[in-house]
Amino acid sequence: MVEAARKLIAAIDSDPFLKYLFSEGKMLGVLVCGKPDSEETVTLNAFSGLAGGHSVLPGFVPPIFDTTKVPSLRGPVDRGSAPVTSPAAPGLPIPLRSIPASAVALRSECSEGPSTSRESKELQEWLFRQYRVKNGLGEEKDIKDIFAARGLVPPGGTGECAAPKLLDYAFRNGLKPLCMGEFWYGASPGSGEVRQHGRFYPSCTGKCGPLLSWMLQGVDVEDNPLQATTGFDSIRILYEDDTLLAVNKPSGMLCAPGLTGTESLQEILEKDYGKLYSCHRLDMDTSGVILYARTPQAQVEIQRQFSQREVKKTYLAHLCAGTRPWKGKMTGTIALPLAPDWYDRPRQVVDKENGKQAITEFEILRIFPDGEMDVRFTPHTGRTHQLRVHAASPLGLGRPIKGDALYGDASKNRLQLHAESLSFKHPVSGETIRVCSLPPSSEDTDRTDSAS
């Protein structure tokens, strides 16, 4: 998959027209497939949405439904400069689908005057019905029915991403999907999304989550790396008294009961310590020190300290290499406001207008010969995924935390983010307590002796 992406990037870089179309930033996808009754493989390429107004380009699979063929639906598009051939073309035919004339009539009716909610709803529903896809079982449905089976309505743009284009084309042409990935090409988006040239990212949860879950039925797939759990280190008690319990949380374990039904660290501890009260959270994949209260009164006081930013926290992280050598300061502060990406939860985006303040101090502890680095983070706020976004965003350090598939690292390592220490005032005595976690296990990192 990685090699297929490299070849596609090289092909685009060598084609001035494609490079021009994609240079402003585009999510691309590659799918390696097996041919029927053969050991040969073929690689399919796709791009999300349109590229410079183009829905079809040589070397890329066609859209599931081509909205540019519907008059007035997308507006006028100049395609006069499109080349006939391109070095990116792998040689597969690209058939165009016929567009029902009913779309033109419906769009014409809606465009004669101010659009009503009824007309808009009818047009949107008609569009959803045109996006018909196949799955690995040979079944075919439109995206409206796929989402309706889950009690959902598909968001606008569903079906235009690279992954569903690739799978639908493969199924319709008798190809067997073997491995697939989506990566970013070109400049980082100005929307605040964490996207960097050449890095892989998971499919969006809002548009592609329900769609791909249905399309991949009948396909032998690996476990979702964003939901996978790792082998748990032994749970170590770091601090204990009648009021508080501080524990070294393993990576891959929920810190409190969740919706998945997976047993959480809190539930495991309660078997020996009785009722516990959650005071704060760590991401499932983050390891390190976490604090529980043993009385409701202690919980209220510790949570107050967190909300008033009286608790000091430090984290250790191992970051991927950047696209360029690090030329910045070894210490500093990152202040990037964050907001949820509503169509791709739980991903967060940098939103300078509507985001909540998020401030992180950083200290680069070591830069390795390959460009990877160890960093200590001291967050002054506690936003969702704050350290992960501040590390990965081009406006921050521009380097995702190793193992962070959500924000740009395609490796299969565990998330190398570790809650190092926690300082707070004891809710009863008022004494300042500093709890330090155990260092991350050597099994949690992929650093080799030669690189250390």
* Domain contains 85: yes
Query: Tokens 């935390």 sit at which residue?
Result: 401
**Res. 314: pLDDT tops 50:** yes
Domain identity same for 284 and 427: yes
Of 110-119, 310-319, 326-335, 377-386, minimum mean pLDDT range: 110-119
b vs e for 252-283, b when ≥16 Cβ sit within 10 Å of the residue's Cβ? bbbbbeeeeeeebbbeebeeeeeebbbbbebb
**Structural domain harbouring 99:** 2-215
* Domain contains 225: no
User: What pLDDT is attached to residue 235?
Assistant: 83
User: What pLDDT is attached to residue 266?
Assistant: 95
Domain identity same for 183 and 38: yes
CATH number of the domain where residue 398 is located: 3.30.2350.10
* Domain contains 436: yes
Split into its structural domains, the chain has a count of 2
**Res. 401: pLDDT tops 50:** yes
* Domain contains 132: yes
Domain identity same for 156 and 274: no
Confidence bin at 280 (pLDDT 50/70/90): very high
Query: In whole angstroms, what is the distance from residue 7 CA to residue 60 CA?
Result: 13
Q: What is the mean pLDDT of residues 163-168?
A: 96
Domain identity same for 209 and 244: no
* Domain contains 57: yes
Domain identity same for 42 and 136: yes
Domain identity same for 376 and 254: yes
Q: Tell me which of 181, 215, 249 is where a domain ends.
A: 215
Domain identity same for 255 and 112: no
**Res. 228: pLDDT tops 70:** no
Of 138-142, 181-185, 441-445, minimum mean pLDDT range: 441-445
User: What pLDDT is attached to residue 448?
Assistant: 31
Q: Tell me which of 215, 244, 266 is where a domain ends.
A: 215
Q: From the candidates 15, 283, 374, 404, give the one annotated as an active-site residue.
A: 283
**Res. 114: pLDDT tops 50:** no
Confidence bin at 28 (pLDDT 50/70/90): very high
User: What pLDDT is attached to residue 222?
Assistant: 74
Q: Which two tokens stand for residue 350?
A: 């940098």
Which amino acid type is present at position 320?
A: C
Q: pLDDT averaged over the chain?
A: 85
Whether 283 sits among the annotated catalytic residues: the reply is: yes
* Domain contains 227: no
In this structure, the strands spanning 176-185 and 26-34 are antiparallel
**Res. 384: pLDDT tops 80:** yes
Domain identity same for 291 and 423: yes
User: What pLDDT is attached to residue 443?
Assistant: 43
Domain identity same for 200 and 275: no
Tens of pLDDT, residues 209-218: 899 999 999 9
> Which position has the higher pLDDT, 108 or 130?
130
> Which position has the higher pLDDT, 232 or 323?
323
> Which position has the higher pLDDT, 415 or 230?
415
Domain identity same for 322 and 288: yes
**Res. 9: pLDDT tops 70:** yes
pTM: 0.72
Cβ neighbourhood burial of 85 (10 Å; 0-12, 13-18, 19+)? exposed
Tens of pLDDT, residues 338-383: 999 887 888 999 999 999 999 999 999 999 999 999 999 999 999 9
**Res. 328: pLDDT tops 60:** yes
User: What pLDDT is attached to residue 435?
Assistant: 97
Tens of pLDDT, residues 31-87: 999 998 888 999 999 999 999 999 999 999 999 999 888 765 544 434 333 333 343
* Domain contains 201: yes
* Domain contains 24: yes
Domain identity same for 260 and 382: yes
Confidence bin at 116 (pLDDT 50/70/90): low
Domain identity same for 164 and 65: yes
User: What pLDDT is attached to residue 111?
Assistant: 43
Q: What is the mean pLDDT of residues 147-166?
A: 92
Q: Which two tokens stand for residue 435?
A: 């709890």
